[in-house]
Structure 1
């Protein structure tokens, strides 16, 4: 049986983020394929404290994994590999005894498994295309992608938009870039937070930050005057400047805005399923996971025209220019009050979500792996 290694954390890493959801979808997809999956784990901080981690060796040379739980154990691998790259600019070369044919990394990690076909998932190029919208340093991201392009058997992206950006910005990788999208499965639903009436609120999901265009959305919601509260679910994120953050904090204090912070996956699924509509007029995305989750759950969505969000949504979402305040307010008002529009978007959304199921993702990965094998 063919063998594939994947990265794994001892404790779930950045639960709820796009990368974490991608990793979950990847595990589900691999379970559908006739392959043996071998996780590469790091043992967690407890393992490092126990003295299992040879820090100088990891920072300055090759490292070797040991077999553990049908996978591989390299204590503190991920944290120290990132540190090594930051300090030295070098990838960590990991030796696995009897290495599998393929290693599928869930995002661009500065690690190469010697003797395997290393596949790196790229979720977006926002640090390079829109550096003001993220706290990730553009110079480090470009340096990392340049180094990975020297060893990668393949880059897989979650959208054609990201694939195009990667080919343009890292041209020596363009013959090894494939869009496989990602699996979308909202999973089991929890309970809607107290005080919310099903079908009687608009919903925005994600970090409250400049990239999500949250200030423009709040102003559009105020001007649309739909009579429906705007629920914002997500933690604080990156801001271009302190003044913008203060303006958003003042707008969030309005009585028709409900800020509930970060929620677990089951609560997010319940929030989406019970919303009148999902609103996501962000300025930059690599995929736009909440939009597709809304489609899968039968909820109409508003998304930005242009970029990955528009690519993924197609004609199954109400698309609007996120830089046009008047158009955005009109779109919010329309999706909240036009029942026929919402019904049309729900029907189109279910069809679009069918293209992004775990089964379809597994089939795309199988085709990619077949080429590498």
Structure 2
């Protein structure tokens, strides 16, 4: 049987960020294929921290994996590899006795396994294309992708938009870039947040930050005058400047705005499933997970009409230019008040969401792995 290694985080972290959801989908997709899956790393186990004798080997890029059951244990691999890359700009090369044919890293880690085809999933290139919208340093991402392009058998992206950006920004990547999208499963729904009435609110999901276009969304919601509260769910994120942060803080105090903090996956699913419509006019996305979740749940969605968000939504969502304030307000008003529009979006959205099932993701991965084998 063919053997594939994945970073151990993909089999441990099931909730949280979009990358965590991707990891879970990757592990689930591999479980559908006739392959032996071998987790690699430590998954954050504090009991697996290295002793002082192990640290120099890892920091100098010479760790050796210990075979444990069906996987490989390398204590504190991820943290120390990141520290080594920050200090030296070098990748950590792992030596495994009888390595698997393929190692699929769930995001660009500064690590590679000798004697295996190393694949790296690139979720977005926002630090390079829109550096003002993220706290991730552009120079670090550029350097990391450049180093990885020297050892990668393939870069895997979650959208064709990101694939195109990767080819343009990392010339060495060339033909070693394949879009496999990702699997989307909203999962079971939990309890709706107290005070919310099903069908009588408009949510937006994700980090509350510049990239999500929160300031423009708050103004557009006020201008649309739908009579429905805007529910903003997610932790605080990165702001372009202190002025924007202060303005948003003032707008969040409006009586028709409900600010929720971080929510677990079941709460997010409930928040989307019971909404009149989802509003996601982001300025930049690598994929756009909440929009696909809404389409899968039969909820109409408004999405950005640019970049990866527009590609992923297709004709399954109402697309709008996120920087056009009047158009954004008009679109919010339409999706909130036009039941015929919402019904049409639900039908188109369900059809579009079918492109992102676990079965289709597994099939795309299988085709990629087959080429490498």
TM-score range relative to shorter protein: over 0.9
Deviation at 1:121, TM superposition (A): 0.2
Aligned-residue CA RMSD (Å) = 1.4
- Secondary structure of the residue aligned to 2:175 is helix
CA contact 1:43–1:73 (8 Å) conserved in 2: no
Provide the rounded CA distance (Å) in 1 between the counterparts of 2:132 and 2:196. Answer: 34
CA contact 1:211–1:282 (8 Å) conserved in 2: yes
- The yes-or-no answer on 1:263 pairing with 2:267 is no
CA contact 1:298–1:349 (8 Å) conserved in 2: yes
Match of 1:127 in 2: 127
Match of 2:348 in 1: 348
CA contact 1:53–1:76 (8 Å) conserved in 2: no
Provide the rounded CA distance (Å) in 2 between the counterparts of 1:250 and 1:259. Answer: 12
Provide the rounded CA distance (Å) in 1 between the counterparts of 2:249 and 2:221. Answer: 15
Match of 1:4 in 2: 4
Specify every segment of 5 or more residues in structure 2 that has no aligned partner in the other structure, as ranges. Answer: none
Counterparts of 1:155-304 in structure 2, within 5 Å, are 155-304=155-304
Provide the rounded CA distance (Å) in 1 between the counterparts of 2:121 and 2:362. Answer: 15
Deviation at 1:277, TM superposition (A): 0.5
Deviation at 1:49, TM superposition (A): 5.0
Match of 2:98 in 1: 98
Q: Give the TM-score, by structure 2 length.
A: 0.98
Counterparts of 1:43-58 in structure 2, within 5 Å, are 44=44, 46-47=46-47, 51=51, 54-58=54-58
Match of 1:69 in 2: 69
Match of 2:323 in 1: 323
Match of 2:110 in 1: 110
Provide the rounded CA distance (Å) in 2 between the counterparts of 1:238 and 1:143. Answer: 22
Deviation at 1:171, TM superposition (A): 1.1
Match of 2:20 in 1: 20
CA contact 2:302–2:318 (8 Å) conserved in 1: yes
CA contact 1:53–1:75 (8 Å) conserved in 2: no
Specify every segment of 5 or more residues in structure 1 that has no aligned partner in the other structure, as ranges. Answer: none
Aligned length: 373
CA contact 1:64–1:96 (8 Å) conserved in 2: yes
Provide the rounded CA distance (Å) in 2 between the counterparts of 1:3 and 1:318. Answer: 42
Cα gap change, 1:274 to 1:52, in 2 (>3 Å): farther
Provide the rounded CA distance (Å) in 2 between the counterparts of 1:360 and 1:49. Answer: 38
Provide the rounded CA distance (Å) in 1 between the counterparts of 2:309 and 2:9. Answer: 29
Deviation at 1:9, TM superposition (A): 3.1
CA contact 2:50–2:76 (8 Å) conserved in 1: no
Match of 1:339 in 2: 339
- Secondary structure of the residue aligned to 1:151 is coil
- Secondary structure of the residue aligned to 1:64 is coil
Deviations 1:11-38 (A, max 9, x none): 9559411110000000110010000000
Deviation at 1:52, TM superposition (A): 7.5
Q: Give the TM-score, by structure 1 length.
A: 0.98
Match of 1:364 in 2: 364
Deviations 1:132-159 (A, max 9, x none): 0000000010000000000000000000
CA contact 1:201–1:276 (8 Å) conserved in 2: yes
Deviation at 1:340, TM superposition (A): 0.4
- The yes-or-no answer on 1:38 pairing with 2:38 is yes
CA contact 2:49–2:75 (8 Å) conserved in 1: no
Deviation at 1:89, TM superposition (A): 0.3
CA contact 1:317–1:349 (8 Å) conserved in 2: yes
- Secondary structure of the residue aligned to 1:5 is strand
- Secondary structure of the residue aligned to 2:251 is helix
Provide the rounded CA distance (Å) in 1 between the counterparts of 2:188 and 2:199. Answer: 19
CA contact 1:163–1:178 (8 Å) conserved in 2: yes
Provide the rounded CA distance (Å) in 2 between the counterparts of 1:267 and 1:11. Answer: 22
Range with greater deviation from structure 2 (331-340 or 59-68):
59-68
- Secondary structure of the residue aligned to 2:286 is coil
